[in-house]
Protein backbone atom coordinates (compact mmCIF):
# COMPACT_ATOMS: atom_id res chain seq x y z
CA UNK A 1 0.00 0.00 0.00
CA UNK A 2 2.86 2.37 0.75
CA UNK A 3 4.40 1.73 -2.66
CA UNK A 4 1.10 2.68 -4.35
CA UNK A 5 0.93 5.86 -2.29
CA UNK A 6 4.54 6.65 -3.14
CA UNK A 7 3.82 6.34 -6.87
CA UNK A 8 0.86 8.69 -6.45
CA UNK A 9 3.03 11.23 -4.60
CA UNK A 10 5.69 11.04 -7.31
CA UNK A 11 3.03 11.53 -9.99
CA UNK A 12 1.75 14.66 -8.27
CA UNK A 13 5.32 15.92 -7.93
CA UNK A 14 6.04 15.39 -11.64
CA UNK A 15 2.79 17.13 -12.59
CA UNK A 16 3.67 20.03 -10.31
CA UNK A 17 7.09 20.37 -11.93
CA UNK A 18 5.54 20.29 -15.42
CA UNK A 19 3.01 22.96 -14.50
CA UNK A 20 5.72 25.09 -12.88
CA UNK A 21 7.84 24.87 -16.03
CA UNK A 22 4.83 25.84 -18.11
CA UNK A 23 4.12 28.89 -15.94
CA UNK A 24 7.69 30.16 -16.28
CA UNK A 25 7.29 30.67 -20.02
CA UNK A 26 5.21 33.38 -21.64
CA UNK A 27 4.02 31.13 -24.45
CA UNK A 28 1.96 28.01 -23.73
CA UNK A 29 3.99 24.82 -23.76
CA UNK A 30 2.49 22.57 -26.43
CA UNK A 31 4.35 19.40 -25.44
CA UNK A 32 3.17 19.50 -21.82
CA UNK A 33 0.11 17.37 -22.59
CA UNK A 34 2.30 14.65 -24.05
CA UNK A 35 4.49 14.59 -20.95
CA UNK A 36 1.40 14.49 -18.72
CA UNK A 37 0.01 11.57 -20.73
CA UNK A 38 3.25 9.60 -20.47
CA UNK A 39 3.42 10.34 -16.74
CA UNK A 40 -0.08 8.95 -16.23
CA UNK A 41 0.68 5.94 -18.43
CA UNK A 42 3.88 5.12 -16.57
CA UNK A 43 2.20 5.56 -13.19
CA UNK A 44 -0.65 3.26 -14.19
CA UNK A 45 1.82 0.64 -15.39
CA UNK A 46 3.75 0.78 -12.10
CA UNK A 47 0.49 0.48 -10.12
CA UNK A 48 -0.56 -2.59 -12.10
CA UNK A 49 2.83 -4.20 -11.51
CA UNK A 50 2.62 -3.48 -7.79
CA UNK A 51 -0.89 -4.91 -7.52
CA UNK A 52 0.09 -8.04 -9.43
CA UNK A 53 3.11 -8.53 -7.18
CA UNK A 54 0.94 -8.01 -4.09
CA UNK A 55 -1.66 -10.50 -5.28
CA UNK A 56 1.01 -13.06 -6.13
CA UNK A 57 2.58 -12.77 -2.70
CA UNK A 58 -0.81 -12.95 -0.96
CA UNK A 59 -1.88 -16.03 -2.92
CA UNK A 60 1.37 -17.84 -2.07
CA UNK A 61 1.37 -16.85 1.59
CA UNK A 62 -2.23 -16.76 2.70
CA UNK A 63 -5.30 -16.65 0.43
CA UNK A 64 -6.81 -14.87 -2.53
CA UNK A 65 -7.00 -11.11 -1.76
CA UNK A 66 -10.52 -10.27 -2.91
CA UNK A 67 -10.22 -6.68 -1.65
CA UNK A 68 -7.40 -5.97 -4.12
CA UNK A 69 -9.41 -6.84 -7.24
CA UNK A 70 -11.17 -3.47 -7.60
CA UNK A 71 -8.06 -1.23 -7.30
CA UNK A 72 -6.16 -3.52 -9.66
CA UNK A 73 -9.00 -3.38 -12.19
CA UNK A 74 -9.14 0.41 -11.98
CA UNK A 75 -5.39 0.66 -12.44
CA UNK A 76 -5.47 -1.61 -15.49
CA UNK A 77 -8.41 0.25 -16.97
The helix (run of H) or strand (run of E) holding residue 61 is helix 32-61
Global pTM exceeds 0.75: no
pLDDT at 25: 83
Q: What is the pLDDT of residue 29?
A: 83
What is the spatial distance between Cα 26 and Cα 42, in angstroms, rounded to a whole number? 29
pLDDT in tens, 1-45: 788 889 999 999 999 999 998 888 888 888 888 999 999 999 989
Is residue 69's pLDDT more than 80?
no
Q: What is the pLDDT of residue 36?
A: 92
Cβ burial of 51 (10 Å; 0-12, 13-18, 19+) is buried
Q: CA angle, 32 as apex, 27 and 34 as ends, to 5°? A: 140
Res. 59: pLDDT tops 80: no
Q: In the chain, what are the domain boundaries? A: 1-75
CA distance 22 to 53: 36
Amino acid sequence: QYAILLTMVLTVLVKYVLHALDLRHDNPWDAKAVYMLYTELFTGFVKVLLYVAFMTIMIKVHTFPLFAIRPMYLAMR
